[in-house]
Chains A and B, each alone.
Chain A
């Protein structure tokens, strides 16, 4: 069990703000943290890693990382951290970026093989692509065999095909190494695909805390429309099949036939349309 109950005053672009978060997740959970920029997502992640000062307590699997009396430095916390901009050591090749954390050559080679980086072991970071760098960063974060894997928008600097590759690696590692993962992300499709819990942070406070399914799916009624989207999941529910499709920044579920389910696969681009009814338009609250 991981318990986080912290507060910290932040000086953001919109003036002073208080970051105040109290939540508990279980071991092996995959928590996604989402919310508008400046809402304190990255700071929360850095606090858990021990990189930022704050008040409150953090307890990880019974071990106190921080309370009123003491605070473990980042070196003593068993975390793996994946930075948004990779933060690889430029003076070391790929293999030594991993070995710097722990001199365990077998484990390093194993990780490189799982991420398809074996060929690049002797290359220096400045010769790698963004996607390759981020996979190296992921491997490096795992070298410490962390209790918690923290990722700060790991996909933001990558193009679409790279994102998918990295998503697969992350999903795989999360399972194999029994990780508890906390990821800051903006992208609903990534959150939906990877995580089982989700926090929406707004202005330093937890606005919503539920499963991504509850928070992200926005289907309602049928309407006359046609949208381009991408299938991110196909689920069999009793006798019907449901395709989960990412359209722009939203995720919808569409019931499909058995035949369609066979023809379609995850990653396919599709058009979702409906003819029978008139579309409904409702003015949204402006913010």
Chain B
């Protein structure tokens, strides 16, 4: 049997782009959430946590409607960037970024809240601005949270199924990621391929989580 690894490559490519985008968006957003006293904070927190509780089909359906060429957002992307967001890889990246949003935000927000306030103040009192304080004091002192956020977002994106199926369809080589490929194999009763794909997913997921927990254990010992 000839095993095709394209779906795995697609999964990892998707996870890589999603994680990178979310890291850039997530750091300022989570910092804002952790330090704001605004009364809209609970509203923002609730919205950003929605993807955790919503059925993927609901989110997928809204995204499909929202990103389609007949919606303003879809039109904007098509006219300005010449990018179609439905049934394309670019669309998957947008959809995944929304779907995995809370998995990036929550560890980061915990991390920001975990950094002692007085070392942030000590940095200000050393004459340093917010940006320098963020990169030289805050982020280096929440490494475990940063790593958890990145790995969990990456792994969660690799593992998603419902949203990618609805927004991306299942176009081989373009939007057929590993999790969707398994579904397709099962549908066509190709259990052998489904087994192999599933086992690979299982092994990768376990290895990733094991690495995260081992790293965190080591970091804890270093800082105590």
Binds B, one of A82-90, A111-119, A165-173, A192-200: A82-90
> Which A residues between 62 and 81 are near B, CB-CB below 8 angstroms?
73-75, 79-81
Could you tell me the distance in whole angstroms from the C-beta of A67 to the nearest C-beta in chain B?
Answer: 21
Give the chain B neighbours of A88 by CB distance below 8 A.
119, 122
**Residue B137, interface by CB 8 Å:** yes
Q: Is A91 an interface residue (CB 8 A)?
A: yes
Do the beta carbons of A83 and B118 come within 8 Å of each other?
Answer: yes
Contact digits for B99-140, partner A, Cβ 8 Å, 1 yes 0 no? 000000000000000001011011111111100000011001
CB–CB B118/A140 < 8 A: no
CA distance A101 to B124 in the complex (A): 10
| Contact partners of B126 in chain A: CB under 8 A | 100-101, 140, 143-144
B126 nearest in chain A by CB position: A101
Interface residue tally of chain B, by bracket? 10 to 19
The interface residues of chain B lying within 8 Å CB-to-CB of A49 are 125
Q: Is B224 an interface residue (CB 8 A)?
A: yes
CB-based contact A74/B121 at 8 Å: yes
Q: Is the CB of A81 within 8 A of B122?
A: yes
Instruction: Evaluate contact between B124 and A73: CB separation under 8 angstroms.
Output: yes
Residues of A close to B40: CB separation below 8 A:
none
- Across the interface, name the chain A residue whose C-beta is closest to B128: A75
Instruction: Out of B118, B127, B223, name the residue touching A85 (CB < 8 Å).
Output: B118
Taken residue by residue from 214 to 258, chain A's Cβ proximity to chain B (1 for < 8 Å, 0 otherwise) reads as 000000000000000000000000000000000000000000000
Q: A203 to B116: give the CA distance in the assembly, Å.
A: 28
Q: Separation in Å of the B203 CB from the closest CB of chain A?
A: 34
Are B124 and A90 within 8 A (Cβ)? no
Whether A83 pairs with B122 at a CB distance below 8 angstroms is yes
CA gap between A88 and B128 in the complex, in Å = 15
Other-chain contact of A101, B116, B119, B127, B129 (Cβ < 8 Å): B127
Shortest distance between the CB of B115 and any CB in chain A (Å): 10
Contact residues in A for B127 (Cβ distance below 8 Å): 75, 101-102, 144
Chain A residues in 8 Å Cβ range of B223: 90, 126
Interface readout for B135-168 with A: 1 if CB under 8 Å, 0 if not? 0110011000000000000000000000000000
**Chain A residue contacts of B124, Cβ below 8 A:** 51, 73-75
Q: Which residue of B lies closest to A100 (CB)?
A: B126
The answer to whether A87 touches B137 (Cβ under 8 A) is no
Q: List, in ascending order, chain B residues with CB within 8 A of A73's CB.
A: 124
Which of B119, B125, B222, B224 lies in contact with A89, CB distance below 8 A?
Answer: B119
Which residues of B are found within 8 Å of A87, using beta-carbon distances?
A: 116, 118-119, 121-122
CA gap between A81 and B122 in the complex, in Å = 8
Q: Check A74 against B136 for contact (C-beta < 8 Å).
A: no
**Structural contact, A91 and B141, CB atoms closer than 8 A:** yes
Give A126-168 interface residues, CB cut-off 8 Å to B. Answer: 126, 140-141, 143-144
Q: Are A100 and B136 in contact (CB under 8 A)?
A: yes
B172-224 contacts to A, CB under 8 A, are: 222-224
Nearest to B224 among chain A residues (CB) is: A126
- Which of A74, A80, A90, A102 is within 8 Å of B141, CB to CB? A90
What's the Cα separation between A44 and B31 when bound, in Å? 28
A5 to chain B, nearest CB (A): 22
List, in ascending order, chain B residues with CB within 8 A of A79's CB: 125
A178 to B137, CA, bound (A): 30
Which 5 residue pairs spanning A and B have beta carbons closest together?
A: A87-B118, A91-B140, A101-B126, A87-B122, A74-B124
What residues make up the interface of A, taking CB atoms closer than 8 Å to B?
49, 51, 73-75, 79-81, 83, 85, 87-91, 100-102, 126, 140-141, 143-144
What are 28 A-B residue pairs whose CB atoms fall within 8 Å in the complex?
A51-B121, A51-B125, A74-B125, A75-B124, A75-B125, A75-B127, A75-B129, A80-B125, A81-B122, A83-B118, A83-B121, A83-B122, A87-B121, A88-B122, A89-B137, A89-B141, A90-B119, A91-B137, A91-B141, A100-B123, A100-B126, A100-B136, A126-B222, A126-B223, A141-B125, A143-B126, A144-B126, A144-B127
